[in-house]
């Protein structure tokens, strides 16, 4: 059976739950949630019944042990999640506004996730059929960007389908010029690209590109997924494009929405054995397999915002199916 390989950071998300009054001060009470965009996607795919492997590194510390245990409990294969005795596990601190929208600050300098290299993994990890999924947080510094490029090259040579979620976190970047070039280079090495309308507009302006879709298709991208919060989701290919409205739901926390969307999308592709560039090309020509995957992804993203947290908010296959059935 084809499987997902998720490469990148696993970290602790500190998310505010409530405020506690102490004298004249309101103290935020935060929950320790497992997170990291690639890890969230791996958990989503595993929860939808497919094999998911996590490739990366955490610290040999309390946070790293906690994250590994959480992943294992979610049926994610951690045989290739390394532990470092020299570097700490990264952390993110999440703030939520009145509408549930997020902002981030990070504790991610000289952390374990930045120190992993391709030759730290056995060669056979990329030899089985499946999809490799990466995000842009492994492009922010020179060494981990080089590792990401090496993994993409090895995966492409092995025949894996490659998925890239742009997922820009600006506080992690030193150079916007470097950001644009590394994101575009990674997109060019990928088959499928997912990004938000905000990221679309930012990259278009930063690179002074009038038609970003054409720009990406010319560089080898086969398919683009463009999300815009509660607005319609767009699916773009060089041959055709479509859009799908997102269901109207009550928003509690948007933390895991994008990763729930991506996880359901990739799980649907795995279910349909779309895990090579050739099978993706056939699916683009057919359209129907991708429209089915898009519907599942849109519903998963909508359901995820109705609960707090990243992993705890991920819907099951039964949740997605029941929601779709209720609307038919």
pLDDT higher than 70, residue 94: yes
Residue 208 is predicted with a pLDDT of 96
pLDDT average, residue stretch 300-320: 87
Question: Coil, helix or strand for 115?
Answer: coil
Assess contact for 257 and 310: CB atoms under 8 A.
no
pLDDT of 15 higher than 90:
no
Q: Model confidence at 102, in pLDDT bands (50, 70, 90)?
A: low
The yes-or-no verdict on residue 170 having pLDDT over 70 is: yes
Q: How many CA atoms lie within 13 A of 180 on its CB side?
A: 14
Tokens describing residue 187: 């997109």
Nearest C-alpha neighbor of 267 from the set 233, 302, 237, 301: 301
298 pLDDT higher than 70: yes
Helix (H) or strand (E) holding 326: helix 317-327
- Single out the residue of 201, 243, 237 nearest to residue 221, CA to CA: 237
Contact between 84 and 58 under an 8 Å Cβ cutoff? The reply is yes
- Give the pTM: 0.93
Q: Scanning the structure block, which residue is given the tokens 């054995």?
A: 273
To the nearest 10 degrees (0 to 180), the angle between helices 288-304 and 317-327 is 100
Q: Supply 35's token pair.
A: 């997170």
Mean of pLDDT values over 185-212: 97
pLDDT at 311: 81
**Where residue 326 falls among pLDDT bands split at 50, 70, 90?**
confident
Q: What pLDDT does residue 259 have?
A: 92
* Angle, in degrees to the nearest 10, between helices 142-158 and 176-188: 10
Per the CB < 8 A criterion, the answer to whether 64 and 15 are in contact is no
276/65 Cα distance (integer angstroms): 34
- From 26-35, 58-67, 151-160, 229-238, the region with the lowest mean pLDDT: 26-35
Tell me the average pLDDT across 151-170: 96
**Structure tokens given for 325:** 């059935």
- Please tell me the predicted confidence (pLDDT) of residue 256: 78
Cβ contacts of 187 within 8 Å, gap of 6 or more = 164, 166, 193, 216, 219, 221
In sequence order, the 6+-apart residues with CB closer than 8 A to the CB of 213 are: 224, 236
Handedness of CA 47, 35, 260, 305 (dihedral sign): positive
In angstroms and rounded to an integer, the radius of gyration of the C-alpha atoms of the chain is: 19
- Average pLDDT over the chain, rounded to whole? 93
CA–CA separation, 167 vs 144, rounded Å?
A: 16
Q: How is the chain split among helix, strand and coil, in percent rounded to 5?
A: 40, 25, 30
Query: Is the model's pLDDT at 215 over the cut of 80?
Result: yes
Q: Which of 58-62, 65-69, 265-269, 307-311 shows the lowest mean pLDDT across its residues?
A: 307-311
- Residues 90, 29 contacting (CB under 8 angstroms): no
Quick one: CA torsion of 194, 300, 76, 55, rounded to 10 degrees?
10
User: What is the pLDDT, as a whole number, of residue 98?
Assistant: 67
Lowest mean per-residue pLDDT among 8-12, 67-71, 101-105, 281-285? 101-105
When pLDDT is averaged across residues 238-244 and rounded to a whole number, the result is 97
Mean pLDDT, to the nearest integer, of 187-203?
97
Predicted local confidence at residue 1, as pLDDT: 81
Beta bridge partners of residue 135, listed in sequence order = 165
CA distance 173 to 285: 38
């Amino acid at each position: 059976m084809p499987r997902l390989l998720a490469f990148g950071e696993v970290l602790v998300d500190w998310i505010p739950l409530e405020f506690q009054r102490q004298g004249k001060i309101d103290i935020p009470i935060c929950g320790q949630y497992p997170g990291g965009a690639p890890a969230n996607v791996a958990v989503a795919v595993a929860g939808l019944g497919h094999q998911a492997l996590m490739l990366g590194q955490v610290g040999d510390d309390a946070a790293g042990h906690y994250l590994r245990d959480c992943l294992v409990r979610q049926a994610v294969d951690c045989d290739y999640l390394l532990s470092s005795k020299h570097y700490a596990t990264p952390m993110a601190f999440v703030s939520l506004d009145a509408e549930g929208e997020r902002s981030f600050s990070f504790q991610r300098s000289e952390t374990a996730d930045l120190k992993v290299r391709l030759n730290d993994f056995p060669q056979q990890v990329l030899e089985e059929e499946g999809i490799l999924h990466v995000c842009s947080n492994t492009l922010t510094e020179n060494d981990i960007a080089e590792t990401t490029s090496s993994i993409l090259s090895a995966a492409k040579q092995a025949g894996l389908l490659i998925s890239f979620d742009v997922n820009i976190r600006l506080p992690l970047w030193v150079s916007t010029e470097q950001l644009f070039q590394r994101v575009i280079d990674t997109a060019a090495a990928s088959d499928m690209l997912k990004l938000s309308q905000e990221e679309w507009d930012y990259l278009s302006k930063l690179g002074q590109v009038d038609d970003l879709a054409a720009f990406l298709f010319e560089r080898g991208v086969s398919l683009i997924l463009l999300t815009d919060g509660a607005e319609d989701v767009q699916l773009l290919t060089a041959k055709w494009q479509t859009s799908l409205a997102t269901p109207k739901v009550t928003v509690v926390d948007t933390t895991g929405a994008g990763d729930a969307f991506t996880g359901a999308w990739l799980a649907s592709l795995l279910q349909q054995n779309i895990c090579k560039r050739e099978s993706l090309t056939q699916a683009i020509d057919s359209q129907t397999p991708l429209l089915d995957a898009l519907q599942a992804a849109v519903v998963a993203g909508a359901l995820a915002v109705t609960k707090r947290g990243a992993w705890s908010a991920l819907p099951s296959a039964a949740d997605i199916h029941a929601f779709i059935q209720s609307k038919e």
